[in-house]
Amino acid sequence: MKPFAACKGLVVIADGGLRRVLRELLLGVKMHDVEYLSDVGGVAHALRANPSIDLIISQNDVPGGGSIAIARFVRWEMSAPANTLPIISLGRDWTPELLQETREAGICEVIAMPTSLMAVQAKLLSAMDGKRPFISTATYRGGCRRRRSSKGHQGPFRRAEDRIAEQLNQAVEKSERRAIRQELQGERSLPPVPGMAAAAPQRGSFAAPARPRADEAEEDEGGDRQTRAVIDKAFVTARLIEQLLARLVTTTGAEAQGALTTAVADAEERLINLMALAQMRIEQHGCSAADIERLRIIRKSVDASAESLLRAHLSRLIKSGEDILSGRAGLSFNIGRAMQARMSYAQFLINVRGGIDMLDSEVKDAVKKAQGIVAQVKEIEAGVLPLPQFDTARSPKSQTSGRSGPAGR
């Protein structure tokens, strides 16, 4: 992150009092290179005229649509990397609805006036430090909005739209309420009379079943049988990976090590697939508190497996891409789409690991290198393999007849 003194800012504020206050606050943090506008209309021209702007600060209700209009223009109308500019919205009046709409527009930070120099400095640091990854989906573009881990946070189930953390919390709360209810029922029930034998049910009376039905037991525990079976398999697979890795450390001989390495890779891929299946089933059916605990136990194994698979996958992707770029391998049909699909699988493994920030610098560099290679291969494919112009092409027969005149005359 650049120091504030070296940053260029664009401030869009119509209120003269707010502008004077913000100017003093920015001078307090040593930010001097600032351009001031009074409406949304001049933002597009200012950004195109000065592409080196590092930060936008806007009044939430500035004429022309407010800071939300500015954020939507920057995030959706400008090309990368300009669409990742940090945006801060400030104002005196905020409502819960306006705050929600502001966050959904991709604005990084919100400042409620009046404020202090320390608060402004903290907001600037949070918006510009680059620690939160930039998210680009079909419905949202902006900094990652996940700043805290909720209770029951799981590595493979980290994304908010998966609703996994919420469902895990509900399962824990349901188990706790059930335990309290059973304890209260036990206190209220009368103890059996000593010496009284169990009476046989009289005619016309209904005897309670000795055991609950299987579906009732499943519902009482939380989740369902198939979800529990998937988690069981994931738990067993995680233990198998630990055993294989322990054997790999003590095994000598290239052939035996190669066989164990292949077995570890297969088990790791199976574990990741099982966790993805467990995620889908938990979304639909939930799970019990015991299953939550087992998911926590194997979380380290899942993270290690995802990173190991990611390293191997990126290595193969980079190798095949470099062979194409160097000319050692040719361009096969739809190679760009195939490599993009492989890059999508790498992104899936990154998400399982917990995001790009959870990886070390070596893996991050490999991800960037693979992305660059895939982009180059797609560009080469687009230039080398154009579609033929069928409307202007002529058949060889017509070309031959056009060149040769009638014979024998």
Query: At 223, is the pLDDT very low, low, confident or very high (cuts 50, 70, 90)?
Result: low
d(C-alpha 198, C-alpha 206), whole Å: 15
What gap in Å lies between CA 175 and CA 253, rounded to an integer?
Answer: 50
Instruction: Extract the tokens encoding 309.
Output: 């698979």
pLDDT of residue 139: 86
Task: Please tell me the predicted confidence (pLDDT) of residue 58.
Answer: 94
Average pLDDT over residues 28-37: 90
Range in 38-47, 257-266, 348-357, 393-402 with the lowest mean pLDDT: 393-402
Q: What share of the chain is helix, strand, coil (3-state, %, to 5)?
A: 60, 5, 30
| Six-digit token string for 307 | 């990173």
More confident residue, 31 or 222: 31
Kindly state the percentage of the chain with pLDDT values over 90.
14
Band of residue 208 on the pLDDT scale cut at 50, 70, 90: very low
Return the pLDDT at 381. 78
pLDDT band for position 184 (cuts 50, 70, 90): low
pLDDT, tens digit, 9 for 90 and up, residues 264-319:
888 888 888 888 888 777 767 777 777 777 777 777 888 888 888 888 889 989 99
Higher pLDDT, 316 or 150: 316
> Which comes out higher in pLDDT, residue 189 or 182?
182
Top pLDDT among 217 and 104 is at 104
Residue 202's pLDDT is what? 46
- Higher-confidence residue of 78 and 386: namely 78
Residue 165: the pLDDT is 47
Picking from 133, 164, 170, the residue whose alpha carbon sits closest to that of residue 149 is 164
Tell me the C-alpha distance between 131 and 125, whole Å: 10
In whole numbers, what is the pLDDT of the chain averaged over residues? Answer: 77
Q: Residue 366 corresponds to which tokens in the numbers above?
A: 């490999």
The answer to whether residue 212 scores a pLDDT higher than 50 is no
Residue 300's pLDDT is what?
A: 80
In total, the chain counts a number of residues equal to 409
Q: Which of 151, 148, 156 is nearest to 169 (CA)?
A: 151
Residue 408 pLDDT > 80, yes or no? no
Q: Give the mean model confidence (pLDDT) for residues 317-323.
A: 89
**Which of 126-135, 202-211, 279-288 shows the lowest mean pLDDT across its residues?**
202-211
User: What does residue 346 show for φ and ψ, rounded to 5 degrees?
Assistant: -60, -40
Which residues, in sequence order, are CB contacts of 150 under 8 Å at separation 6+? 165, 166, 169
pLDDT given for residue 57 in this prediction:
94
What does the pLDDT read at residue 86? 92
- For the whole model, what pTM was predicted? 0.40
For 239-265, the pLDDT digits (tens) are: 888 888 888 888 888 888 888 888 888
Percent of the chain past pLDDT 70, that is, above it, reads 75
Rounded CA gap, 286 and 164, in Å?
9
Are residues 365 and 356 in contact, defined by beta-carbon separation less than 8 angstroms?
Answer: no
Going by pLDDT thresholds of 50, 70 and 90, the confidence category of residue 167 is low
Q: Residue 195: is its pLDDT beyond 70?
A: no
Q: What pLDDT does residue 378 have?
A: 86
What's the pLDDT tens digit per position in 344-366? 888 888 888 778 888 888 999 99
Strands 55-59 and 87-91: parallel
What pLDDT sits at residue 95? Answer: 86
Q: Are 255 and 261 in contact (CB under 8 A)?
A: no
Q: Among the ranges 77-91, 197-211, 236-250, 329-343, which has the highest mean pLDDT value? A: 77-91
H/E stretch holding 89: strand 87-91
Report the distance separating Cα 278 and Cα 90, nearest Å: 43
pLDDT value of position 256: 84
